[in-house]
Amino acid sequence: MRVVVQNDKSRSFRVKRSAIGVRGAFTALAVAALVSGCAQETSGARGASGQQPLQAPPARALDSYASELRAAYEARVAAAERWNLKEVPLTPPPPPAEKPVIAPRAGFEVTGQEEEDLPPVFTTVPTEDKVVFLTIDDGAEKDPQFLRMMSDLKIPYTAFLSDYLIRDDYGYFGRMRDRGVTLNNHTLNHPYLPGLSYAEQRREICGMQDVIEERYGTRPVLFRPPYGNYNGDTLRAAKSCGIKYAPIWNEEVFADHWDYRESDRRLRPGDIVLTHFRGPGDWGGTMRDMVREFLDKVTAEGYAVARLEDYL
């Protein structure tokens, strides 16, 4: 990824200085990672036939791994400064080897949920990892600087798009997909789905599946009902056009504040956070302001941002 070259000498010095303190920790981490890889190999876990057992790496390889980690951390520090974050965002753990089982949140099931194996509606992914997930809805605002900011900071997010808001610039979301973001279904026209018949709901959901497949090459498995409103027909229609999950959210972040589903206003491991593609005319700030509002709280509370799809 291309990052802006540092020409401010004093700032780049400051970054180097701040990285020195973590140098020892990174070397230790590198050793621990490699050792545990070896330990796993000798404690009975076997690779596929034809795979070679891991060898102890030469000291030089270890050293270069440590410097890669260092360089990655320094890049994160520089990016955090560039985008005016209060703290450097935390790095998420690797994706879970075993995916959590996603059940509907209690009270969010519909009749026939289990018997018909309908997509679960949930607000939090069951995990003990201190991670949260950022999900961004609708698609009205198309801020090129937002794309640069998220790539530069390496913060993953998941988009839920409505055709009537993205059709004036499909290309913007194509560039988002090219940066590794998964584009998901938020209906064609963003209606209040429970007010529609099954056939009408199916047109809204399956129609958006077709748009995303035609424009971006993949058929989503994630669908979010507009306003978080749905009924049994919604989930049946969604399932019939290939949807597996219906994530909603536990918190919502705006350009200048948060809203919470839980009264204690705390983040929980695996929480799904909602926000929107909105601009200054809608909420008195830019997408970048929203990202700062989001990351400053998430980092201060000791959470990293992980990729929702990695947990499903």
Rounded to a whole number of angstroms, the minimum distance from the CB of residue 189 to Zn ion is: 11
Q: What is the token pair recorded at 163?
A: 């055709």
**How many residues touch Zn ion (CB under 5 A)?**
3
Residue with tokens 């947990």: 311
Q: Which is nearer to Zn ion, 85 or 212 (CB)?
A: 212
Alpha helices in the chain (DSSP H): 9-42, 59-82, 144-153, 163-166, 170-178, 198-216, 232-240, 280-283, 287-300
**What mask, x for binding Zn ion by CB under 5 A, covers residues 97 to 136?**
----------------------------------------
State the maximum Cα–Cα separation within the chain, in Å, rounded to a whole number.
Answer: 66
Shortest Å, Cβ 138 to Zn ion: 5
Q: Which is nearer to Zn ion, 149 or 208 (CB)?
A: 208
Q: Tell me how far, at minimum, the Cβ of 186 lies from Zn ion, in Å.
A: 6
Minimum CB separation of residue 190 from Zn ion in Å reads 6
Tokens 């997930």 -> residue: 133
Q: State in angstroms the smallest separation of the CB of 193 from Zn ion.
A: 11
Task: Tell which positions 167-226 bind Zn ion, by CB under 5 A.
Answer: 226
Residue closest to Zn ion when measured from CB atoms: 137
Identity of the residue, 83 or 223, whose beta carbon is nearer to Zn ion in the bound complex: 223
CB of 144 to Zn ion, least distance (A): 22
Q: How far is the CB of 274 from Zn ion (least distance, A)?
A: 9
Q: How far apart are CA 214 and CA 174, in angstroms?
A: 12
From the CB of 162, what's the least distance to Zn ion, in Å? 6
Residue pair 145/290 in contact (Cβ under 8 Å)? The answer is no
The residue count for the chain? 312
* Chain mean position to CA 215: 21
Q: Which of residues 221-240 bind Zn ion (CB under 5 A)?
A: 226
SS3 181: coil
- Measured from the CB atom, the residue of 36 and 229 that comes closer to Zn ion is 229
Residue of 181, 135, 147 whose CA lies nearest to 287:
147
Residues 226 and 189 sit within 8 Å (Cβ to Cβ): no
The residue within the footprint of Zn ion, chosen from 66, 119, 135, 137 (CB under 5 A), is: 137
- Report the number of secondary-structure helices (H) and strands (E) in the chain: 9, 9
The smaller minimum CB distance to Zn ion, of residues 30 and 159, is found at 159
Between 151 and 275, CB nearer to Zn ion: 275
* DSSP tag of 85: -
User: In angstroms, rounded to a whole number, what is the distance separating the alpha carbons of residues 117 and 246?
Assistant: 13
| CB distance 139 to 187 below 8 Å | no
Q: Which is nearer to Zn ion, 185 or 286 (CB)?
A: 185
- Least distance from Zn ion to the Cβ atom of residue 277, Å: 10
Q: Which is nearer to Zn ion, 150 or 274 (CB)?
A: 274
Q: Tell which one of 70, 83, 138, 188 touches Zn ion (CB under 5 A).
A: 138
Question: Among residues 138 and 152, whose Cβ is nearest to Zn ion?
Answer: 138
Percent helix, percent strand, percent coil in the chain, to nearest 5: 45, 10, 45
Burial category of 172 from C-beta neighbours within 10 Å (exposed 0-12, middle 13-18, buried 19 and up): middle
> What is the contact surface with Zn ion in residues (CB under 5 A)?
137-138, 226
